[in-house]
Amino acid sequence: MQSRINHLAIIMDGNGRWAQRQGLPRLKGHEMGARAAKRIVEDAKARSIKYLTLYAFSSENWNRPREEVEGLFSLMERFIAEEVDRLRQSGICIHVIGDLSRFSLRLQDTIRRTLDETKDNTDLHLAIALNYGGRDEIVRAVKGLMQNGVSPDDVTEQSFSTRLDTSFMPDPDLLVRTGGEWRISNFLLWQLAYTELYFTPTLWPDFDSATLDEAIAWFGSRQRRFGMTGEQVGGGRP
Ligand code: FPP
């Protein structure tokens, strides 16, 4: 299924519950979640989506049990190490958003080298949100403006956007959250202003091309008005 979606953002929720339902440790759920992430990258590319942002680790996830945090990191390191060649060959450019300064120097180095290897690709931009929090991102952007002595008169929505981690991407057209929760959880707070929000009870490890197509079909039925009236945007709805 082709889509009108340029930027798809996903909150990949439900790994823990998926594992618990099968009587497996939570980390097994994250491992299956990483597999689902690999699939969705291919599926997004096949549907001509140009930007895909995945919420992999929030700035609040540090509060989870230590073994789970460590397990998630080794999974992500493995994902990056194992996938980089394939992603590079399939035209995917990898980006990371979030505050990387809290990671080990080894992980920061792996991430930098990985990003560098794929930087010339343009088929799909994959942004992985790591130690990411929307409020933290906004605070870092404000600090950047102040540290550079930018005058208040020069602060506009547009100039502010260029200070955000996502400055290289358009705002998401569609946000999908799996796992049955109806909240944003500090994800892309600025960027989601006019994004269509899709919540599904499907647990992330079960999310596949069929469930993606359901989300895309739902998006296709939405009328995006960006503050205008239905008549103005041509759909005729009130
Ligand atoms: C939320 O499920 C998921 C996470 C906190 C981690 C997401 C990470 C991955 C899918 C693996 C790595 C992915 C990439 C892109 C490298 P949860 O644990 O909160 O689930 P629960 O609500 O059922 O407990």
Q: How confident is the model over 133-181, as pLDDT tens digits? A: 999 999 999 999 999 999 999 999 999 999 999 999 999 999 999 999 9
CB 13 near ligand 1, within 6 Å: yes
Q: Is residue 147 assigned to a domain?
A: no
Tell me how far apart the 2 most distant CA atoms of the chain are, in Å: 58
Measured from the Cα of 128, ligand 1's closest atom is 15
For residue 148, the CA-to-ligand 1 centroid distance in Å is 36
Which residue has a Cα nearest atom 5 of ligand 1?
Answer: 57
Q: What is the CATH number of the domain that holds 182?
A: 3.40.1180.10
pLDDT digits (tens, 9 = 90+) for 93-127: 999 999 999 888 887 888 888 899 999 999 999 99
The DSSP code for 144 is H
In 24-41, which positions are buried (b, 16+ CB within 10 angstroms) versus exposed (e)? eebbbbbbbbbebbeebb
What is the reported pLDDT for 177?
A: 98
Q: Is residue 154 assigned to a domain?
A: no
Question: From CA 55, how far away is CA 148, in angstroms rounded?
Answer: 29
- Domain that includes residue 188, residue range: 7-135+171-225
Give the other-Cβ count within 10 Å of 162's Cβ.
12
What is the reported pLDDT for 235?
A: 58
Question: Token pair for residue 52?
Answer: 């895909």
Q: Is residue 219 assigned to a domain?
A: yes
The DSSP code for 170 is P
Least trusted range by pLDDT, from 62-76, 77-91, 222-236: 222-236
Q: What is the number of structural domains in the chain?
A: 1
Question: Token pair for residue 129?
Answer: 């949100």
Measured from the Cα of 75, ligand 1's closest atom is 12
Active site residues: 13, 61
For residue 70, the CA-to-ligand 1 centroid distance in Å is 13
Q: Is residue 163 assigned to a domain?
A: no
Average confidence (pLDDT) over 204-226: 93
Q: Is residue 184 assigned to a domain?
A: yes
Q: Is residue 233 assigned to a domain?
A: no
CB 126 near ligand 1, within 6 Å: no
**pLDDT exceeds cutoff 80 at 79:** yes
Q: Is residue 2 assigned to a domain?
A: no
Q: Is residue 65 assigned to a domain?
A: yes
